[in-house]
Chain A
Amino acid sequence: MATEILMPALSPTMEEGTLAKWLVKEGDTVSSGDILAEIETDKATMEFEAVDEGVVGAILIAEGSEGVAVNTPIAVLVEEGETYDASAAPAASEEAAPAGAPAAPAPVAAAAAAPAAPVVDESPDYPEGTELVPTTVREALRDAMAEEMRADENVFLMGEEVAEYQGAYKISQGMLDEFGSKRVIDTPITEHGFAGIATGAAFGGLRPIVEFMTFNFAMQAMDQIINSAAKTLYMSGGQMGAPMVFRGPNGAAARVAAQHSQDYAAWFMQIPGLKVAMPYSAADAKGLMKTAIRDNNPVIFLENEILYGRTFDVPKLDDFTVPFGKAKIWRSGTDVTIVSFGIGMQYALEAADKLAEDGISAEVIDLRTLRPMDLPAVIKSVMKTNRLVTVEEGWPQGSVGSYIASEVMQQAFDYLDAPIITCTGKDVPMPYAANLEKHALITTDEVIAAVKQVTYR
């Protein structure tokens, strides 16, 4: 039986090529692996090997031919003792590649200038009358991890200085004593390596919590976080993923300069497959951390060193959790919406207090999680106030605020009475000098000025 040899595609982009040279002639016997011809692609000259064995019955395309399309028959192999009969054209032995890419799907949601009333979950985080206990963010994080580790044997904590040192920022204080060295694990200083080991452990069915001493050091582990942890569920067609938490302080602390003072919210928020939480209060730190540990996906949990020592009321409940994707309205208002998250909330709330003295009523929304992001809550508020200011410590280009501004413009353009202002940190590496550092960060005065601008005061 005759077998057609087709012009091969020899690179991901090749559609045609030059049949530069035949290395066999009609009548030659070839076996699998023998070089048949040299073919010039758009990138290089390639040797083309035989897959089947047989005798070259006919060469259909002469050497030197240019522009030979992929899948054109270039020769025919026949079996020993058989001859090629050109008049009896062989049936196409292999079907051609499916034509082109499928038609592009319709965009998910057409831009709507006037949204239907957004569906927003405004239920309280805990029942009215719940006892509240003043707690630091530091203690709240520790309590959340300890509660989840008591509940699930597969949860463990690893990182630099988390065990014997009790945590570089004392977040894991007391945990080694309670859970032992099997579950509270000191690592060498090797972020790339231990982020990868933790991700592999998650593939293997455990639920790791990885502490980065600060998120600045997570840059060393970025490939494992994004390429391994975030993408594996998709790449495996849903067979396996990484149920785990990467946590640690993020953003500027105080006087630690450029390499230790960066807000990564906008970076991680961009990645499908990751979830990103960035709490402000102790209650949210606790409730979101418990949700993060139970989540079956990799969660980036961005804490803040300056907030660790702050005290907030935390509900005294056996099992207090805060769902992802549900913003919290800290203050209702009618004149302007201020949206922030993490330590940015401090500026937003201070600004709102001072603005109230000037007779401006600001609604302050804490996103709490950036992916998923509660955009409906923002849009609902903007439909009421018609003005929006976003506040964050990160840099301006590609900021969280830029994304929010873009979404609000696309979904609620007709409701805006002023351009949205995105208040961010300055577009500079963090300086060391005290006065410069203060100026590099967002300030309450800048938030106030932005609100006055959008309210035309």
Chain B
Amino acid sequence: MAARKSAQKSNVSGEELTSYYKDMLLIRRFEEKAGQLYGMGLIGGFCHLYIGQEAVVVGLEAATKEGDKRITSYRDHGHMLACGMDPKGVMAELTGREGGLSKGKGGSMHMFSKEKHFYGGHGIVGAQVPLGAGLAFSDKYKGNDNVTFAYFGDGAANQGQIYETYNMAQLWELPVVFVIENNQYAMGTSVQRSTKSPAIWKRGEAYGISGEEVDGMDVLAVKEASEKAIAHCRAGKGPYILEVKTYRYRGHSMSDPAKYRTREEVQKMRDERDPIEQIRDMLLTGKHATEDDLKAIDKEIKAVVNESAEFAKTSPEPALEELWTDIYA
């Protein structure tokens, strides 16, 4: 695979590895809990889990600074946790409660945090990409060096507005990293069934935008790529594209039986490429942590997730007056 692999794994400190391990594990346990609450009818509507893709957001966020922005589509829980949004607020939004980040009015697909510079959470496939370029436009207009991550999937990559945006982003040298999270399936349609040009990042070349493919199951490789992309943008060289090859273990949404791929394909990915297991192995073989240390981390993460679930179940439903607020500023 031509994808970027992390170069010097041996140089990574135990502290750094532990922090990735914790961040990825939080997303996985959170999403498992969300799946469970969905099963109990506490979460409604559509719910798209991020399990399997954890290394993408954790690796990308590892290279950001305060002021950098991010925007994504409806598979957004991982992005929110990775940029430091409160798991309680995310989970309570999933259950549609007053304590949710959008006061229960947005739900799984539409969540925001001005404080953490997270601009959603958008339900229309591809629409977040021009919006992300617009955020970058605002930073360039104001003359600061902030960078925006505009995330989209291999499915969204076939929307025309992505290419309208590529054109203007390069024309105006906007500081935006286009992150293609290629999890290989647009709902039930594999990349092979939707395009004859499988190197999606290369489409940027037509607009003069540089980019590369990254192993999205390897958090260290993702972090390295993120550093490079951000440096490109901060230097005023315009946009950059990262096509991060990843895999979602669960269905497209909770109601997807995922009959378009084999159980063996999923199992093989889990057994051989799992991003969390990879770091876990490095922690143990590098003697950065013992089994007991990792058990303690597991316990700590479980407690955070259980606390978020408890909050999401006990936070009251929004007051009926909320129906009529936030329509106009």
Contact surface of A with B, Cβ cutoff 8 Å: 6, 8-12, 14, 32-33, 35, 41, 43-49, 51, 70-71, 94-98, 102, 105, 156, 182, 187-188, 190, 192-206, 223-224, 227-228, 232-241, 243, 272-273, 275, 296-297
Contacts and interface: CB of A to CB of B under 8 A. Distances in A.
Contact of A228 (B38, B100, B122): B122
B134 A200 contact: yes
Contacts of B103: 237-238
Contact of A156 (B120, B141, B313): B141
Contact of A237 (B101, B165, B258, B329): B101
Interface residues of B, number: 70
Given A182-B141, A228-B127, A201 B106 contact: no
A418 B114 CA distance: 53
27 contacts: A8-B39, A12-B46, A12-B255, A14-B255, A35-B263, A98-B317, A190-B164, A193-B167, A194-B164, A195-B130, A196-B165, A197-B137, A200-B134, A204-B119, A204-B134, A204-B135, A228-B122, A234-B105, A235-B120, A236-B114, A237-B103, A237-B106, A237-B112, A238-B326, A240-B114, A241-B329, A296-B329
Contact of B320 (A14, A32, A98, A105): A105
A47 B102 CA distance: 32
Q: Which 10 A-B pairs have the closest CB atoms?
A: A200-B134, A196-B130, A193-B164, A204-B138, A8-B39, A11-B255, A200-B131, A237-B103, A236-B112, A97-B41
A297 B130 CA distance: 19
A94 B129 CA distance: 39
B168 interface: yes
B139 interface: yes
Given A228-B122, A236-B114, 6 more contacts: A9-B39, A35-B263, A46-B255, A51-B36, A190-B168, A238-B325
A14 to B, nearest CB: 8
A203 B131 contact: yes
B106 A235 contact: yes
Q: Please classify the interface of chain A as helix (H, G, I), strand (E, B), loop, or mixed, using the class held by over half of its residues.
A: loop
Contact of B134 (A192, A198, A223, A273): A198
Contacts of A44: 255, 257, 259
Nearest to A38: B257
A237 B317 CA distance: 14
B224 to A, nearest CB: 28
B171 A188 contact: yes
Nearest to B138: A204
Contacts of B329: 233, 238, 241, 243, 296-297
A197 B106 contact: no
Contacts of A224: 127, 130-131
Contacts of B44: 12
B257 A201 contact: no
B255 A10 contact: yes
B33 interface: yes
Interface in B294-328: 313, 317, 320, 323, 325-328
A190 B172 CA distance: 14
Contacts of B122: 227-228
A200 B132 contact: yes
B106 A236 contact: yes
Contacts of A205: 138, 142
A198 B134 CA distance: 6
Interface string B164-188: 1101100100000000000000000
Nearest to A196: B130
Contact of B257 (A45, A238, A275): A45
Nearest to A42: B255
A107 B167 CA distance: 49
Interface string B120-155: 111110010111111111110110000000000000
A197 B130 contact: yes
A94 B37 CA distance: 9
B328 A297 contact: yes
A369 B55 CA distance: 50
Interface string B246-277: 00010000110111000100000010000000
A238 B102 CA distance: 8
B40 A94 contact: yes
B110 interface: yes
A225 to B, nearest CB: 11
Nearest to B174: A197
A394 B54 CA distance: 51
Contact of A196 (B123, B134, B263): B134
Nearest to A243: B329
Contact of A232 (B35, B120, B142, B320): B120
Given A12-B44, A96-B40, A236-B102, A197 B134 contact: yes
